[in-house]
Structure 1
């Protein structure tokens, strides 16, 4: 009887020990799963390198970020397919410049499956300028000038829209994104200060621009513009008073033409030579230079005006 009782007690001990081990194993497994799922890795798509760099400045290497187009030409002429719609619909976030920068974007976004992908137009909340000329891409006529980001304050607003979207999608790392956003703003503030210094040096100059794409940058920097006539192919026509004025002070070079497209200089070569008008090239987004590189180029280009005197 004593042997039977001993065997029964040993059975109970083994049973409860096994249950205890099983509980510990389950708790350990559960804890490990929580650790693995602590940080979510998002799949983020942008339309171009400009937005790619902006998003990377906020998320760093925490998420997978890709872009659709290597250059401006392919971005403008893009014709989407069912495959491209399905591919973007599988992403977590999709950012686009907006304001007609991607002429096909409205129809594209309408077809996306938004049950998974969050779609963000980074131009939201920005005051846009209208085109002065008719701009068409295929059957789409653009009313808004999409180069708003050449105004640094507008660029900051777009960057804020990116930060907000990422924070909403992955709030666990809100502080991380806020820190990166603040650091990006500090860098931009240094460029704003440089531009302000350059603008002060250019107060006695007057400028001609014929490309709407430069309007945001020129107005942001308070450059004094001369109103000129424009013919076909952006050929400049001057009034009689403007011509007389130029003849009187042709050697002072205080009238400058700012341009981005080389065809502007080519088409106005005769006028520029006749009145000794310097031409200074500014950069807007071309798919190659980063935003900071573009600002650096433009600051140097404007500085060259008064440093050459």
Structure 2
């Protein structure tokens, strides 16, 4: 019995030495791995799909991004629950417009469990325009139609993600620069056509397109309570040189037969904001004067 016990002790000691011998290098490697920089995997919650496209321009396939809504009506009528609060609270970043576009955002944010959650207001640094609506004046929520406003919002996305994942700061910076370069190149293609629209007066029916028209330096005038024909006479407008901007989604109840009209979109849930801006610019460009044909005599 003693021999068996002694043998077991010898085996136990041998195993202990063996485990120590083989495990020490593993422990050293584990410690080294801890000191090595690792990619941080972020979980990002975004309110709407166009904002999601902005985030994807920065992160591409790195990190996880999810959005809550596509169409504007669902955003406006949203009522959040405890499950929604818990879901967002467990994310690394929550990104929202920061305007009345999400009328529930202030209330929702106040109830979130902040912890390590980063809350990003895309409108930070943007000079918001006033918005006359239902006999009330408030901030105009459609800033993402504006060229410079869009760039600022995209910068806010980039900066927030860099702050949460500084190890990949250069990667996000490169993606941001690439997105801005592509955007600028696309807009530049239509710059001369947009300039040629200076001969037109654009009649707007509300403030929905203010950011876009200001970005493009369009000559605009907003319809007041007068009938359209009377409004044109009062303001000494040439009916042949006016273009009426109509909301592509809501349309208008006005009888616009016989007048030049153009349908633009202030928000389109399945389209990224940069594509929305470019779409509207392309539609406006259709009214541009064709390039003048150079006479052969002048070309000599």
Query: TM-score under structure 2 normalisation?
Result: 0.84
CA distance 1:72–1:114, shift in 2 (3 Å): same
1:291 to 249, 254, 273: 273
- Residue 238 of structure 1 deviates from its aligned partner by 2.8
Q: Which residue pairs with 1:146 in the alignment?
A: 141
Q: How far apart in 2 are the matches of 1:20 and 1:201?
A: 80
Q: Which residue pairs with 1:111 in the alignment?
A: 111
Q: Which residue pairs with 2:50 in the alignment?
A: 50
Aligned positions of 1:19-30 closer than 5 A? 19-30=20-31
Q: How far apart in 2 are the matches of 1:239 and 1:202?
A: 21
Instruction: Report the 3-state secondary structure (helix = DSSP H, G, I; strand = E; otherwise coil) of the residue aligned with 1:165.
Output: helix
- Residue 130 of structure 1 deviates from its aligned partner by 0.8
Instruction: Report the 3-state secondary structure (helix = DSSP H, G, I; strand = E; otherwise coil) of the residue aligned with 1:159.
Output: helix
CA distance 1:207–1:178, shift in 2 (3 Å): same
Instruction: Report the 3-state secondary structure (helix = DSSP H, G, I; strand = E; otherwise coil) of the residue aligned with 2:102.
Output: coil
Q: Deviations over 1:178-237 (max 9, x none)?
A: 000100110121233234322211011111001211111111111111343236xxx646
Q: Deviations over 1:106-159 (max 9, x none)?
A: 000000011121111010010000112238xxxxx8710010111110111011
- RMSD, aligned α-carbons: 2.7
Q: Give unpaired runs (5+ residues) of structure 1.
A: 1-11, 136-140
Query: TM-score under structure 1 normalisation?
Result: 0.81
Aligned residues: 279
- Residue 76 of structure 1 deviates from its aligned partner by 0.9
Q: Deviations over 1:15-54 (max 9, x none)?
A: 877644332121234345666x711111100000111010
Q: Which residue pairs with 1:125 in the alignment?
A: 125
Matched, 1:260 2:258: no
Q: How far apart in 2 are the matches of 1:304 and 1:186?
A: 24
Q: How far apart in 2 are the matches of 1:219 and 1:127?
A: 13
Q: Which residue pairs with 2:69 in the alignment?
A: 69
Flag the structure with higher helix content: 1
- Residue 268 of structure 1 deviates from its aligned partner by 1.4
Q: Give unpaired runs (5+ residues) of structure 2.
A: 1-12, 292-300
Q: Which residue pairs with 2:233 in the alignment?
A: 241
Higher relative contact order at CA 8 Å, sep ≥6: structure 1 or structure 2?
A: 2
8 Å contact kept, 1:229–1:238: no
8 Å contact kept, 1:198–1:299: no
